[in-house]
Structure 1
Amino acid sequence: MGLKLLILLALLCDFGASKENETPKFASSRKFFEKKHCGEIHPDKETACIFNYDNVLRSTIGFFPTHCSVVCADLFIGKDCDLTEEELALAFKNMKRLIGGLTISGTNYTSAKFLAGLESIDTGSEQNILFEDNSEMIEIGLTNLTSIITDGWLISSSPKMKTLNLPNLKYTTPAESEYTHVELWIEKMEPNFCITFDEMEQFLNIRKADLTNIAANYCEPTPEDDICTKPAKGCTRILGDVEIGPDSDLNAMKSVEAIFGTLTIKNTSIESLNFLESLKYVAPLGTGSGFKRFPALHGKKAVIIMNNPYLSNYTFPSLKKIRSEALHQIVFEHNRYMTPEQCIRMEDSLYMSRGPTVDGNTCVLLKVQSLKIVEQSQMIFLVASIVICLMLLLGIGTGIFARWCIRNDNEYQQFDKY
C-alpha cells in the first residue's frame, strides 16, 4: 500500500509541475484525463498512469510508465523521434489501453508494430488518430487493436504502404454523443496501397464506422478470397458491378453475401427484393477521374434501383451496411411509389451517413411532400364539405321557401272566394 501511495504522489507531482507551461491543447487533454480518473489508484482495477510529454523522444521516453497497461497520454511520434522501432516496442510492450490521442507523422518506421500490444484507444473529443507522411511505412500493423473511441482516424501520404493489417478491429464509437459515426479517412495513397476483401467486410461489420472517405482500390483477388466476377450459382462474393435486368437469373443472386461494386436493378418486373436473401454488404471502391477532388460527385453509388414498375416491397432481407463515397449512396428512380416510412426504415436499418434518395428526394423531403399531400387532401375535403353543406342548406332553404309560397297562395285563393 505504501508503494502505491509513493507512485501516486510521484505521478501527481509530475502532473502538477507540467501544468505551468502547458498549451491550451494540452490543457484540454488534462481535463479529459481528469474525467477518465488518470493517475488515481483504484483498488478494484489497474491504475491509469500518466505520461506528461506529448513528444516521444530519447530524452522523454525514460518517463514513460512502462509498467502500466493503461496509459493516459497524447502520444506524438514525429520526425524528431530518435528511437528505434525496437526501443519503442520495449517501452510500449505492456501498454494495452491508451487514453489520449495517437499521432505518427513524418517518420521512417516501417510499421506501428511497436504498439502491437495495444488493444483499445480512447482519444476523447479533442484528439484523433493520425498516421501521415510516413515515407517507409508498409502497414499500420496494430494487430491486437479491437476498439477505438474517437471522432476520426486519418491515414494519409504514406507512399510505401501496401495494406492496413488491423485484423481484430471490431468496435468503434464516436467520442462525442452528437456524432453518429467514426470517420475513417484514407487519402493521398499510392496505387500499391489496397484494401483486402476481408478488411472491407470487417469494417462493414462495424456499425458506427463511416467508410465514405476511403480513396483506394481493392487488392487483387487471391484463391483464398473466393471471389467471383459475375453472378453464378453458389457464389458468395462478387468483385465488380452487378446489373440485374429483365433477363437476369435471379436464382444466381440468392447465395451472394457481398458485392464489391455497384448493384443496379433496372427495367425488371420484380415485386420485391427477396431474391437478394443473403446479401449483407455492398461496397464499391475506386479512385476514378475526379475522385480525389470531388468524391461526392464522381464516386460510385452503392445501389441503383430504377424503372421497376411493380416493385412494392423495398426491404433488403439481410443487408447490414453499404459504403460509397457518392453523395447519394442508394438511388431509387421511376419505381412504384415508396412511402416515407419505407425510406426512413431503410436509412435507419443501414445506419447510413447519407440516406437513400427517391426520385431525387431524401427521406425527409419525401416525408414533407407526403405531409403536404395529406394537408392538400384535407383542405380539398374541407372545402368540398363546406360547398356541399352550403348546397344542402340552399336546397333546404329553397324547398322551405317554395312550400311557404304554395301555402300562402292557397290561403289567398281561399280568401278570394269569399
Structure 2
Amino acid sequence: PRCIFEHSEITSETVPFFPKCEEVCGILVFNSNTDLSEDQLEKVFKNMKILNGGIRIENSRLKSLSFFTVSKREQRFFFDCKSIIENNPKLDASTLCDYGYLHSVTGIKVAGNMRDCGCYNIGLNKCQVLFGGLKIINTTTLPTFSPITEIRGDILIQDTNFANLSFLGNLERLVISDAGKKEKMTINIRNNRRMTRLGLPFLKQIKNIWSSDIFANLENLSPDFCMTIEEVILFLEYKINFVNLHAKFCKDPGNLHNLKLCHFESMKDLEQNCRYILGDLMIESGDEEYIYKLGTVTHIFGTLTVRNTNLQSLIIMYGLSYMASLSGLYVMLTDNNRQVQCDKLSIFQSSFSVPVECFGGNREIVVFLESSVAFRYLDARLCDFNPSELTPKTCRLTNLNDLDSDCVYLIGDLQVDSGDEEHSEKLKTVSVIIGSLTIKNTAVTDLSFLGNLRKIANLNVYQVLYDISTEYTNEHHV
C-alpha cells in the first residue's frame, strides 16, 4: 500500500501523498488543476523509476516531461501502462516517437499538443510511426498505410481477403512491449484464405523492448502461401517462436546479398562453398568423404539426418548457426552414429516448434537444451538407451545412495531428502538433469554440491521442475 498513489490527479495538494518508491502503482493525471512546475514535479518523482498503471496528460500547462527520472542503467524510464498525452497546447511531444522518456511505450496516444508524434488509429495515411499496434479483422477493404515505417505494438490480421501485406510495403521496424507476464501473439496472421505472400520487403527489425520471447502465428492462409529464404532468415535472427507456421518455401529466395544458396539432393552432388542449404540434408554411410562441403554452411532450410556413418565429429559444421524446417523434425542422429559428438551442435539457434516422437540415447535432448530451443508444444518421451555407450558419463538415477560418482548427465527425478546430505558430493559433476529436482527436509546450508548444474529438462508437463524447501531456507543461502 505504501507504494500506491490513490489520488485522481497531480496537484500541490496530492503530491505530499506520492510514495517515495522506485516502483509505483497508480494513475497519474496531469490536467488544468496541476499547479506545479516541471522543477517541482522532478522532485516529486525523483525516486520513481517504474510506473505500473497509467498516465493521462490532458489540458495541462506542461511544456516538457523532463520531470520523469531516467534510469542510469537502462537510460530510459519504464512505463508498464497505457499513456495518453493530448490537448496540451504548450507541450512539445515530438521527441516521444524516437528516444524520449516514453519511447518504450507501444500503446501511447499523442494528439492535440503543440507538436505531436506518431499516430494512434487516426491519420494512418499520413504518419510514419503507428502506436498501439495494428488490428484488422473481417474486412475486404484494402487499407492505405503506405507512409508507415514503424509499428509499435502487436499485429493482428484476421478473416480478410488480402493476398499480401503490401499496404505496409514501407514497414521497416516492428517494436513490441511484452514482458512475458502472459502469453500473447505479437504477430498473428490467421484465416486469410487468399494470402500467398507476406509482402514486407523492407522489414529489417522485430524488437521486444523486454528480454522475453516473441511469439507469432501464421495460420490458415492460402495453400500457396510461401516465405522467402530472406524472410525466414529475419525470423530466425530475431528468434521468433511460431505456434503455427502454415507455409512453404518460395521459389524466389529473396535478397541473399550474393551469398550462395544450394539445393540439396545428395552429399555427393552438393556444390561447394554453400552458405545456405535448401532441402532435407541427409548424411549416410559413404558420405563421410563429402562432409568437408558443409564447412561454409551457416543456415539449413530443411531437416538434418545423420545415420549409419563412421563420423566421430561434426566439428566441420562449426559455422552452422540456424536451422528452419517448415515441417517435421530438425535434427535426427540415429543410434548407428555412436561416436558422433553431438555437443558440437550446440550452436543451433532454432526457434520454431518441433514435433518429436522420442528423444534418443544419442543425446538429442541435450542438443536442444544446449541450443536454447523454445518448445511451444512438445509431445515426446525419453527413448530407451544404454548409459554405458554415452559420453560424457550419463547415469540413470534410482536413489542417491546407489548413484555412481562423476556423472555429467543425470536421467531421473533427483530427490535429496533427510539423510542424503552425506551423498550430495556425488552431484558435484552433474551439469544436466533430465527429470526433476527436489530438495526438502535436509540440513544443507548451501547448494554448492550443484555448482556445475546448468540445465534441467522434464518431458512431463504436469511435474514440478524443481522444488527446494528446507528448514534452513530462510537462514542460509540455498
Per mean C-alpha deviation after superposition, the further-off stretch among 196-205 and 101-110 is 101-110
State the Cα distance separating 1:201 from its structure 2 match: 0.5
Alignment partner for residue 173 of structure 2, among 146, 153, 174? 146
Q: 2:354 is matched with which residue?
A: 326
CA deviation string 1:174-223 (max 9, x = no partner): 87x7xx4221101111123210110000110003x213421111111469
Q: Counterparts in 2 of 1:121-140, with a 5 A limit? A: 121-122=152-153, 128-140=154-166
CA contact (8 A) 1:68 1:94 kept: no
Q: Distance in 2 between matches of 1:217 and 1:120?
A: 26
Q: Distance in 2 between matches of 1:267 and 1:253?
A: 18
Report the CA distance shift for 1:378/1:173 in structure 2 as closer, same or farther (over 3 A).
same
Alignment partner for residue 201 of structure 1, among 233, 239, 243? 233
Q: 1:99 is matched with which residue?
A: 131
CA deviation string 1:17-59 (max 9, x = no partner): xxxxxxxxxxxxxx9323x8777887686357xxxxxxxxxxx
Q: Counterparts in 2 of 1:209-248, with a 5 A limit? A: 209-221=240-252, 226-230=260-264, 231-248=270-287
CA contact (8 A) 2:94 2:117 kept: no
State the Cα distance separating 1:243 from its structure 2 match: 0.8
Q: Distance in 1 between matches of 2:58 and 2:197?
A: 41
Q: 2:340 is matched with which residue?
A: 311
Kindly name which structure, 1 or 2, has the bigger radius of gyration based on alpha carbons.
1
Letter in 2 for 1:173: N
State the Cα distance separating 1:309 from its structure 2 match: 0.7
Unaligned runs of 5+ in 2: 1-30, 35-55, 61-79, 98-110, 179-183, 265-269, 385-393, 406-418, 423-478
TM-score by length of 1: 0.57
Letter in 1 for 2:329: K
CA contact (8 A) 1:302 1:324 kept: no
Alignment partner for residue 372 of structure 1, among 365, 384, 397? 397
Q: Please state if 1:185 is matched with 2:217.
A: yes
Letter in 2 for 1:302: Y
CA contact (8 A) 2:139 2:159 kept: yes
Q: 1:300 is matched with which residue?
A: 328
What is the RMSD of the two structures over their aligned residues, measured on CA atoms? 4.4
Q: Distance in 2 between matches of 1:159 and 1:45?
A: 40
Q: Distance in 2 between matches of 1:268 and 1:38?
A: 68
Unaligned runs of 5+ in 1: 15-30, 49-62, 76-87, 123-127, 286-298, 362-368, 386-418
CA deviation string 1:238-286 (max 9, x = no partner): 221111112112012112222211111122232322121222221111x
Q: Distance in 1 between matches of 2:230 and 2:278?
A: 13
Q: Distance in 1 between matches of 2:293 and 2:207?
A: 34
Q: Which has the higher strand share?
A: 2
Q: 1:125 is matched with which residue?
A: none
Q: 2:196 is matched with which residue?
A: 162
Alignment partner for residue 256 of structure 1, among 289, 293, 297? 297
Q: Distance in 2 between matches of 1:200 and 1:260?
A: 9
Report the CA distance shift for 1:38/1:66 in structure 2 as closer, same or farther (over 3 A).
closer
Q: Distance in 1 between matches of 2:147 and 2:383?
A: 47
Q: 1:69 is matched with which residue?
A: 117
Provide the secondary structure at the position in 1 that maps to 2:397: helix
- Report which structure shows greater RCO (CA 8 Å, sep ≥6): 1
Q: Counterparts in 2 of 1:388-407, with a 5 A limit? A: none
Q: Please state if 1:12 is matched with 2:58.
A: yes
Report the CA distance shift for 1:353/1:223 in structure 2 as closer, same or farther (over 3 A).
closer
